[in-house]
Amino acid sequence: MSSRSKLETRVRFSILRISSLVSITSTDPILKFTRAGPMPWFRYLRNKRGRRRACVNRLNRASFGSKKYQPGEPKITRVYVDMVADLFHYGHVNFLKQARQQGDFLLVGVHADEAVMVYKRRPIFSMEERVASVEGCRYVDEVVPNAPLTIDREWIEKHGIDLILHGDDFSSDLERLCYQVPMEMGIYRTIGYTEGISTSEIIARIKAVKNE
């Protein structure tokens, strides 16, 4: 089956699922669904590639927001990462890109200032600024603010998480503190840290320029 056919099949399932949840009309600026049926909308997806991701993400959030799948629905893998996302940079983007490639839906938890200060300095950006930065990344499907530093089974079940990822920059002690439960469940993995860029590196560069 071609990638286009797979997309159309997946969207058909999504439409059936959300038909009872939302009202889709031809005036919707994103979905552009008409009374003629789903095929005109599929053509719209193919022709308007710039909006294709927005449409699919909107359907995913409506129909795949939980682990309770209905018979006939395509099963997806929900990936979870948590981060500070301070001074959002291309290293963060690279990390999120790799995480998104491990599944079908990427959920990102952003830590509150108080949680971050347990092991490092206070973030420069506010919670709202950091959440907005992550939401603007094309690889992210959903953002959860005030994410806990230590992930327990309740958090995993609440968000229907299948896989948890983190960068490989944590010490073993801190890694155990934060991810003991997912480690025991066998759903924890690490992603290689992007060399040459970090929030601390950016701060150091700013200080160096200021002192010139």
DSSP string, 131-147: HHHHHT-TT-SEEEEEE
DSSP 31-80: T--BTTBHHHHHHHHHH-HHHHHHHHHHHHHHHSSSS-PPTTSPP-PEEE
pLDDT tens digits, 166-202: 998 888 898 999 999 999 999 999 998 888 888 888 9
CB count within 10 Å of CB 135 equals 12
> Angle of helix 38-47 relative to helix 49-63, nearest 10 degrees?
130
Ramachandran bin of 150, using left for φ above 0, alpha for ψ from -120 to 50, beta for the remaining angles? beta
Q: Reply yes or no on whether the pLDDT at 140 is more than 60.
A: yes
Q: Please answer whether residues 35 and 29 qualify as being in contact, where contact means their C-beta atoms are separated by less than 8 angstroms.
A: no
Ranked by mean pLDDT, the top range of 16-20, 24-28, 74-78 is 74-78
3-state SS assignment for residue 199: helix
Give the Cα separation of 104 and 157 in Å (integer): 17
Q: Which residues pair with 143 in a beta bridge?
A: 108
pLDDT of 57 reads 43
CA 98 from centroid of its chain's CA atoms: 11
